[in-house]
Amino acid sequence: MKARDVVLVDGIRTAFGRAGEKGFFWYTRADDMVVKVIRELLRRNPQVKPEMIEENVWGATTQEKDQGLTLGRTSAILAGLPVDCSGFSVDRMCAGGMTAVTCAASEIALGACDIAIAGGVEHMGHHPMGATADPNPRFLTERIVSEDALVMGKTAENLHDEFPEITKEMSDEYAYWSQKKAAKAYEEGKIQKTIVPMTVYTKEGWVVADYDQQLRPDTTLEGLRNLRTPFRPLGKVTPGNASGLNDGAAGVLLMSAEKAEQLGIQPKMRLVAYAYAGVRPEVMGLGPVPATKKVLEKAGLTINDIDIIELNEAFAVQCLVFMKEFGFKMPNDERINPWGGAIALGHPLASSGPRLMIHMMHLFEENPSARYGLTTMCVGLGQGGAVIWENLMRK
């Protein structure tokens, strides 16, 4: 049996809020954010009737409470999808949503279903990363992994150690450009197109969550220079050159190319290839490098064939290592994150993979001459994920 082409028809996300009591999702459940995304995907695509959705796949890092009980199934029921729509949840930490998308795409490619919704959610206010985890003590007592592997900020400091040529000043400058690019994209009304406004209850009453709370358009290099280094005395990783703690959900609508044609839908992009790779957990930020090399080989492409790259900005240093390894201009290259990234917009763990894809979808539309795009990210405990997409809106 020959694998079928899988296409992305649409994608949408909630705003990304600050985690904690000051965030506008503090009183909102994670599964309700997922429901909002599912319903908005259906509202935006009336050719796709609810009864056509056969699979609903969602990534979440902490699968308990409002992110538990097999979120892919419960959110399908809550969103009003027919009872015969199946669903499941996956966990690959930061790449949970990316994995949900590639799992659903694999089902479509092999004919297990024709249409699926997939995405990721993370309510880091309700579920601080690793708060309820119970790592096997052998990890540390038998020195299977460095204790740094359990603290993401320390893994970023370790990357600075491995690549001493990447200085704190370079990381700060990278973060500065992320903030400036995101602010410009907001000013031009571009990022707003990726967000479905959601009315939520807060301490101030009912408000509309329709923007990313982490954005700091007034960021200056001087301000970044003076921030504390919480992971190491006199370190290089600061709250300014790292992503924050956030709440949010992001999802996409996938189907076979044949089904899109049958429904008269113009898909936005085709999934060309995907790959995941492992690296030493204590330098998890290296993950996008081997994952990208692996997916390029699978697709028969080189990095020079890639027109746009959406690289998740867990930490600035991790992005700079990627740019160095593939020969990009540091600390700012026009091919990478044209609208800024997670340092400016936020990184609600499992939501970030689909967020990269949603940006890619809009960037393809904005750049009709672009053919291939790459969405890639590092993953806690030492992994990387990468997906190559083809622009189906080319002219």
204: nearest Cα among 22, 395, 329: 22
Q: Are 335 and 181 in contact (CB under 8 A)?
A: no
Whole-number Cα distances in Å, 249 to 38, 91, 123, 367: 10, 14, 8, 26
94 in catalytic set: yes
Q: Which residue has the tokens 């900005």?
A: 313
| Cα four-point dihedral sign 328, 331, 334, 335 | positive
Q: Which of 94, 103, 113, 319 is catalytic?
A: 94
Distance in angstroms (rounded) separating the CA atoms of residues 117 and 10: 10
127 in catalytic set: no
Q: Which of 123, 126, 160, 347 is catalytic?
A: 347
Whole-number Cα distances in Å, 157 to 25, 242, 315, 365: 31, 11, 10, 37
85 in catalytic set: no
Distance in angstroms (rounded) separating the CA atoms of residues 149 and 158: 10
Q: Which of 103, 113, 319, 378 is catalytic?
A: 378
Q: Kindly state the tokens that stand for 116.
A: 């699926």
Residues designated as active site: 94, 347, 378
